[in-house]
Amino acid sequence: MSEPAERSLVDLIAHNIDQLINLDISGYGVIAELYRAARALHDRPLTLLAAQLLRDRLQDGGTFFVTSGWIMPGTFPYGETDGPIGAATLGRALGLAFNARMIVLTEERMLDCTIAACRAAGISVLTEADMESAPRPPHPRFLHCVIVPFPIDDDEALAESKRLFETYDPKALVAIEKNGPNHEGRYSMVDGSDNSDCVAKAARLFEEAERRKVLTIGIGDRGNEIGFGAIADTPRRILPFGENATNVTIVDLLVTATVSNWGASGIAASLAALLDRPEIMHDPETESRMLHRCIDAGALDGFTCRPVPRSDGMQESSHVAICALLNELVRAPAVNIEGLFSTPLHRLPDRTDEKAKP
């Protein structure tokens, strides 16, 4: 059965976005199966479904939580570039789309590089102390986020989760490349090694969100990130150390991507297509700026553990290229640019009446 015509172009764009961000450019060998398993749970492209769910919750504004950041064992106090850039991407997109405010929750040692990524995306960053000492509330159209350190200690994380939900009353909670516990409650690297002593216990946030019936989304690229609980059998089967590495946290929607940052970009791109607002998707120059400033502020490439402008081992040009292609997908040039001989299957709705309005 064909889908309704009014949504066919957006679905086509979102389908291609899903395919692009799950392209196994690095040759890691797992993302195709992870995507198929996640996609089988839903009848729409994952990035589009995420965009729709976030629109439904945030279209009138409000606050949402994003937790990101990953400190690898043996690299303390440094963490990787995959995650903070995704947080900045999503914060920018939802801020521009709905004037929604992001609260970023990350390890204390990840604050500097996360702040740098957000500022590179054009988002001003405040702390809770800034909010408390300000003589007046932020301007309604001031694009900003609030960054809060989240505890590594489990008991502290449990108490802080309750405080944060009571304080900010978020409408959604998103994890981007955020380590989650396995079936034994341990936080693990993809090789199965225990890194519970390095990372924030962000799964406590999702337990609180479930109690309060807050929308939850997980973005991940391997299977040990928060969100893979619903398809845990797949990473458990295909990862060499899957039994120890697989996360068991269940969220409302899992979005997979070759690099978790790309998952956030994919959601931003699908949102831009859904709302017909291409500017919601950031440009390649911003992508490059976020990567460099994140590195300069103390982040590392997660594969080499070196302070070089890469994410998950892939060089800057690859990430910029993905961003450029997402921008092309959102703008659908075959539909929006009149060609001499082209005959595209999809057409945008006639906006003549809208343009005539004062």
Tell me: pLDDT of 353 over 60. no
What distances in angstroms separate CA 43 from CA 11, 14, 40, 46, 263, one per listed residue?
11, 12, 7, 9, 18
pLDDT band at 7 (very low <50, low <70, confident <90, very high): low
Q: Does a structural domain hold residue 205?
A: yes
Tell me: pLDDT of 356 over 80. no
> What sign does the CA torsion over 259, 264, 268, 271 have?
positive
Higher-scoring residue by pLDDT: 6, 187: 187
Q: Does a structural domain hold residue 83?
A: yes
Q: Does a structural domain hold residue 16?
A: no
pLDDT band at 348 (very low <50, low <70, confident <90, very high): low
Tell me: pLDDT of 49 over 80. yes
Tell me: pLDDT of 358 over 60. no
Count Cβ atoms below 10 Å from residue 55 Cβ, excluding itself.
15
pLDDT band at 5 (very low <50, low <70, confident <90, very high): very low
Number of domains into which the chain is organized: 1
Do residues 96 and 114 make contact, with C-beta atoms less than 8 angstroms apart?
no
Q: Which two tokens stand for residue 124?
A: 């001003």
CATH of the domain at 231: 3.90.1640.20
Predicted pLDDT of residue 2: 39
Predicted pLDDT of residue 347: 75
Q: Which helix (H) or strand (E) holds 103?
A: strand 101-106
Predicted pLDDT of residue 355: 43
Report which DSSP code applies to 334: H
pLDDT digits (tens, 9 = 90+) for 141-197: 999 999 999 999 999 999 999 999 999 999 999 999 999 999 999 999 999 999 999
pLDDT band at 357 (very low <50, low <70, confident <90, very high): very low
Tell me: pLDDT of 1 over 90. no
Instruction: Supply the range of the domain harboring residue 224.
Output: 44-335
Q: Does a structural domain hold residue 124?
A: yes
SS3 per residue for 29-66: CCHHHHHHHHHCCCCCCHHHHHHHHHHHHHCCCCEEEE
Q: Does a structural domain hold residue 2?
A: no
CA gap 158, 63 in Å, rounded: 20
State the pTM of this model. Answer: 0.95
Q: Does a structural domain hold residue 222?
A: yes
Predicted pLDDT of residue 85: 98
Predicted pLDDT of residue 350: 61
Predicted pLDDT of residue 346: 87
Q: Does a structural domain hold residue 210?
A: yes
Higher-scoring residue by pLDDT: 66, 350: 66
pLDDT band at 351 (very low <50, low <70, confident <90, very high): low
Q: Does a structural domain hold residue 73?
A: yes
Segment 304-311 mean pLDDT:
97
Nearest partner of 48 among 22, 91, 13, 87, judged by Cα: 13
CA gap 122, 290 in Å, rounded: 10
3-state DSSP: the chain helix, strand, coil percent, rounded to 5? 45, 15, 40
| Exposed / middle / buried, residue 111 (Cβ in 10 Å: 0-12, 13-18, 19+) | buried
- Residues of the chain with pLDDT > 90, as a percent, come to 91
